[in-house]
Structure 1
Amino acid sequence: MGLTTGTGPFGKQPAGAFNFERPRTEGVIYFEPSPRRMRGLLGGETVVDSRHAMLLHEHGKLPVYYYPEDEVRMDLLEPTDHTSHCPWKGDASYWTVRVGDRVAENAAWGYPDPLPDAPPLAGYVAFYWDRLDEWLEEDEPAIGHARDPYSRIDVLDTSRPVRVEVGGETVAETTRARVLYETGLPPRWYIPPDDVRSELLVESDKQTTCAYKGFASYWSVRTPDGAEEEDVAWFYPDPRHDAARVKDYIAFFNERVDLYVDGELQERPETQWSPAVR
């Protein structure tokens, strides 16, 4: 989350206000150089090794790296007939990546003739993150998606009373929470496992990936009357360094539970995890 997502200044639900009228709310794009070395691999072969990548921020979307063609193994890319159109960038052409027997269809795209008011995208190639096997940021694994340089995570101890209810049933209550503040997202209250009623938790097979925090595992909540709220809680058994202090702590979606902080019921935020948009 950052400039163009969540409650960021160019996101779909900006939390603040400008002192001028924005010329438009859709199609806001910011294209900037990144100093980070980025590498993408498929079948053990390095497909892209870039020290001059550009990062494209687009309204309501996660940032995407665009790589100069001379830093991409273009000999591993085969042009396809697939195309797509963006009203802000133009017509995209696609490539399939082939390394021996490994094939990633339409895994890369570019804008050979971008629209006049689009960023200078000609000569750059972008990749669907999950269609390559591995990404490295400098020499460390990069997971999930490109990380936004304008995103930040802070994990703070708090003694504020926190209570979580599902269907009127208290599921967790603590004065030992750790609150995680992440750019563009609601505060997430991570609760020690000892302060959560484990008998109400039901293991889930669901897992998700966060580029900043790592791989999350999930719990559902089943109340004594038999009502179940699926995949409403999560934890990080092996978090990345930014989220190390919430290891094994349990958080609940503010959007789907009744969350009390300092005895006050918190308003349920509207995000991509809200019931109406899941």
Structure 2
Amino acid sequence: MADTAPHRVSTEPCCKRIRVEFNGETVADTTGAIYLYEPPIPPVYYIPLEDIRAEFLHRSEHSTHCPFKGDAVYWDVVVGEKRAENAVWSYPEPISAVPELAGYGAFYWKKMDRWFEEDEQIFVHPRDPHVRVDILPSSRTVEVSLDGETLAKTNRAQFLFETGLPTRYYIPRDDVTAALTPSNRRTACPYKGEASYYHVDVGGVRYEDLVWSYESPVREAAPIRGLLCFFNEKVDIAVDGKTEARPETKFAK
């Protein structure tokens, strides 16, 4: 069945101080940002134009039209010899559904160097205040296997519950028996930090990037520091002897 859900755009105030850095300079610093929600796109910070340093903005000829927000104008961000083309956009005359966007601008996240909420660096996209991450220690027995081979077994995992995702089981390294080989892959999560990955060899077959770990997680995710987590989507996990179905997510491929 086709998805007939209406396209929704909404905003709400952000109470945090937001800062954006580029080429060693703070190009935006505000306590007046708003979140823009446009599912399934992650939330976007819209920052008052008065809190974006005008000396670093160079108006470009680029423009776009969005039927849900209006006509956007763009600026390059130029600091010293470094330029990020069309990195900032704004809707000078937004459509009537989102009048609050007038006087605000937004940055392409990846075109900037660093982002901060208050004094903590954040990654990938703004932390959605409607997403919750709970990390709880559990004495339930978690066993991970693949192709009939046990890869890990523990009764001291940290269970991570994140809105919209399957439960993840973070396991002490001493309780992982799988043969692990470090991978060059790195990813980042706004709620947990930067992850490193491991390949797993099972029965002469290498399963690439099957396991990840947060060696230096963000403060809220400190309980999973250095623990190992397997993709539920790609292994068999039993909790207290009951095998869980492999979840269908974007990570299943």
Which of the five TM-score ranges fits, normalised by the shorter chain?
over 0.9
User: Alpha-carbon deviations, 1:61-96, whole Å to 9, x = none?
Assistant: 211100111111123111223333433223332211
Structure 2 counterparts to residues 129-208 of structure 1, below 5 A: 129-198=109-178, 200-208=179-187
Mapped contact 2:60–2:74 kept (Cα < 8 A): yes
Change (3 A) 1:29 1:119: farther
Question: How far did residue 274 of structure 1 move?
Answer: 1.8
Q: Distance in 2 between matches of 1:86 and 1:257?
A: 42
Match of 2:43 among 63, 83, 88: 63
Q: How many residue pairs end up in the alignment?
A: 251
Mapped contact 1:29–1:56 kept (Cα < 8 A): yes
**TM, length-normalised to structure 1:** 0.84
Q: Which amino acid aligns with 1:83?
A: S
Q: Distance in 2 between matches of 1:95 and 1:243?
A: 36
Question: How far did residue 220 of structure 1 move?
Answer: 1.4
Q: Which amino acid aligns with 1:212?
A: Y
Change (3 A) 1:230 1:68: same
Match of 2:219 among 241, 265, 276: 241
User: Alpha-carbon deviations, 1:118-158, whole Å to 9, x = none?
Assistant: 45322210011221122222222223321112222211111
Q: Identify the residue that residue 253 of structure 1 maps to in structure 2.
A: 231
Structure 2 counterparts to residues 71-150 of structure 1, below 5 A: 71-118=51-98, 120-150=100-130
Q: Identify the residue that residue 17 of structure 1 maps to in structure 2.
A: none
Mapped contact 1:31–1:54 kept (Cα < 8 A): yes
Structure with higher strand content:
2
Mapped contact 1:37–1:137 kept (Cα < 8 A): yes
SS in 1 for 2:223: helix
Match of 1:217 among 196, 200, 207: 196
Aligned alpha-carbon RMSD (Å):
1.8
Are positions 1:30 and 2:5 aligned together?
no
Change (3 A) 1:176 1:71: same
Question: How far did residue 272 of structure 1 move?
Answer: 2.0
Question: How far did residue 196 of structure 1 move?
Answer: 0.8
Q: Distance in 2 between matches of 1:86 and 1:211?
A: 27
Are positions 1:273 and 2:251 aligned together?
yes
SS in 2 for 1:106: strand
Q: Distance in 2 between matches of 1:195 and 1:152?
A: 28
Mapped contact 1:26–1:59 kept (Cα < 8 A): no
Q: Distance in 2 between matches of 1:256 and 1:84?
A: 40
Q: Which amino acid aligns with 1:242?
A: E
Change (3 A) 1:174 1:119: farther
Question: How far did residue 223 of structure 1 move?
Answer: 0.7
Q: Distance in 2 between matches of 1:227 and 1:87?
A: 49
Q: Distance in 2 between matches of 1:56 and 1:148?
A: 10
Q: Which amino acid aligns with 1:230?
A: E
Question: How far did residue 115 of structure 1 move?
Answer: 2.8
Mapped contact 2:10–2:98 kept (Cα < 8 A): no
User: Alpha-carbon deviations, 1:96-122, whole Å to 9, x = none?
Assistant: 100111111111112223233245322
Provide the identity percentage: 47
Q: Identify the residue that residue 19 of structure 2 maps to in structure 1.
A: 39
